[in-house]
Chains A and B, each alone.
Chain A
Amino acid sequence: MNIYADNAATTKMSKAAIEAMLPYFDQIYGNPSSLHSTGQYAAEALFMARKIIAEILGCDAREITFTSGGSEADNQAIVSAASIGAKKGKKHIISSAIEHHAVLHTLEKLKKQGFEITLLDAHENGIVRPEELAAAIRPDTALVTIMYANNEIGSIQPIAELGKICREKGVIFHTDAVQAVGHVKINVVEDNIDMLSLSAHKFHGPKGIGVLYAKKGIPLTNLIEGGAQERGKRAGTENLPAIMGMAAALKEAVSDIDENTAKLIPLRDRLIEGLLQIPHTVLNGDPKLRLPGNANVCFEGIEGESLLLLLDSKGICASSGSACTSDSLDPSHVLLAIGRPHEVAHGSLRLSLSEENTIEEIDYMIEAIKEVVAYLRNMSPVWRDLQEGKRSYVIQ
């Protein structure tokens, strides 16, 4: 049995995406910047892909910039908005405590350059409160950047509402929508979004390709200098096979979104319900306002890396916010931000489903996880102390 439940890390490519890419390796392989017809066929394909993606997002094709992925798009969005702000003497940026490191580390860099950063609380359910955003905006606020949906705990932010507040106050609003695009319905006009980042490999497209949407009138700052590709805002010959694969994957994900959501939510809720039967287990993130495929829990008394290794030996691919799964000694900043103490955050498990998972797989995972948690608790001195009353349970 091999069950892939780590779709928030990356997804398997869809057949449609693979097929869409193939002609662009050895048939339509020209450089879109070349004047000859081989190049111009490639330029036409590039134009079509841009148009497809723009239509899906609800914007103009000229507002789409292809990047190497979500991290680059986040970096470029933030640096661009900061540069626009700085020119007007605005050096304050608002974000949230649960953003991806592509956002947080870029903000850290700007802080060293004299920007002031406010990180909004995401509260226990992992959701930012619009009234707290409204209160945090100042006359010198250059940018608000809040992720659409969280990569670890799956919580979905009230993006349209947050965007509306920013629009009323005349502040640029960026959203890192890497986990949301292709999984929840997004329209940049209806959602009041000025800038948006997405990454193809999170919706069954290829790795190494993404998009930065920037509303007309928001000039981008180059991260990569060179040729005049992407209206001079992102140099380098376009990765046409990947762009074609991304457009095909996005088209398919969006056209199947209702069907996939209807399938995934019951699977997700069955999984969460099964995991919560394990004593002293808590759900991370909001029970309803969460990505259709995301389940994330903390088990008290055990550590996440050993849990992942044992699940892997049972054929289950999952993820954890434990420090031991990274090079750092601190557990996930997201779990800490929603109030989980260190010792509990170390025992987290994220299962992120795709529409390919089955109900049989869900039931197998629940049983396997129950077994592994009991096994690890049985050898855990922390669990013994909890049971003997020498230590108090954090999770009731």
Chain B
Amino acid sequence: MLYSEKVMDHFTNPRNVGVIENADGVGEVGNAKCGDIMKIYLKIENDIIADVKFETFGCGSAIASSSMATEMIKGKPLSEALTLTNKAVAEALDGLPAHKLHCSVLAEEAVKAAVKDYYDKNGIEYDHAIFPDCASCGHCETGECH
């Protein structure tokens, strides 16, 4: 089997799928050309992630990574959500095949993008260094996926 049981579980029974209407923060990363887009919606109450939903266009590991990432940040303070790493997502899924690791990177980026959106919308000051720009990932260089 290509994927661990954990990946298959989160892929076939994804947690937190859907949309939050009037979400406090929304983050979308990826590129349809490259075959994966992740969108994360956050409901924030007192700096805590009260609810989180996701939508993903992508392969099994992209869907599983989104599902796992939402589980890992639900109910957590924003400061903790921002420490979520792609490595932690991949480990929580009992590993991903090497050529699928970028799916966990997308999950980390989607969470960060959603938090950033919340900060921007509410005029909250933050350290820009914790939000790397898209180019640093290299996944979708010039949108050509090479």
Contacts and interface: CB of A to CB of B under 8 A. Distances in A.
Interface stretch (B54-62, B73-81, B125-133): B54-62
A303 B55 contact: no
B55 A306 contact: no
Interface string A316-350: 00000011100101110000000001110010000
Interface string A363-395: 000000000000000111111100000000000
A343 B140 CA distance: 13
A135 B95 CA distance: 53
A235 B36 CA distance: 47
Contacts of B146: 329-330
Contacts of B59: 303, 305-306, 322, 324
Given A330-B145, A342-B32, A346-B35, A303 B58 contact: yes
Contacts of A342: 32-35, 145
B17 interface: yes
Given A323-B145, A330-B146, A342-B145, A306 B33 contact: no
Interface string A163-192: 000000000000000000000000000000
A342 B146 CA distance: 12
Contact of A329 (B18, B34, B38, B55): B34
Contacts of B33: 341-343
A126 interface: no
A304 B7 CA distance: 17
Contacts of B8: 309
Interface in B92-108: 99-100
Contacts of B14: 379
B65 to A, nearest CB: 12
Nearest to B17: A379
Given A310-B12, A313-B12, A380 B34 contact: no
B19 to A, nearest CB: 8
Contacts of B11: 306, 309
A301 interface: yes
Given A323-B145, A330-B146, A382 B57 contact: yes
B43 interface: no
A229 B81 CA distance: 66
B35 A327 contact: no
Given A310-B12, A381-B28, A329 B56 contact: no
Given A309-B11, A330-B145, A330-B146, A379 B56 contact: yes
Interface string B32-47: 1111111100000000
A381 B34 contact: no
Given A310-B12, A313-B12, A343 B58 contact: no
B115 interface: no
Contacts of A341: 33
Nearest to B12: A313
B97 to A, nearest CB: 9
B113 interface: no
A305 B12 CA distance: 13
A302 interface: yes
A303 B36 contact: yes
B69 interface: no
B55 A380 contact: yes
A336 to B, nearest CB: 11
B10 to A, nearest CB: 12
B119 to A, nearest CB: 21
Interface in A212-270: none
B99 A327 contact: yes
Contacts of A301: 57
A302 B37 CA distance: 10
A298 to B, nearest CB: 13
B35 A383 contact: no
B89 interface: no
A300 to B, nearest CB: 10
A310 B17 CA distance: 16
A379 B40 CA distance: 11
A381 B12 contact: no
Contact of B57 (A309, A310, A323, A380): A380
Interface of B: 8, 11-12, 14, 17-19, 28, 32-39, 54-63, 99-100, 139, 145-146
10 contacts: A302-B57, A303-B58, A309-B60, A322-B35, A327-B99, A331-B35, A343-B35, A346-B32, A381-B38, A383-B57
The 7 closest A-B pairs by CB, nearest first: A324-B59, A305-B59, A343-B32, A342-B33, A346-B35, A381-B39, A329-B145
Interface of A: 301-303, 305-306, 309-310, 313, 322-324, 327, 329-331, 341-343, 346, 378-384
Given A379-B56, A380-B55, 4 more contacts: A324-B58, A330-B146, A380-B57, A382-B32
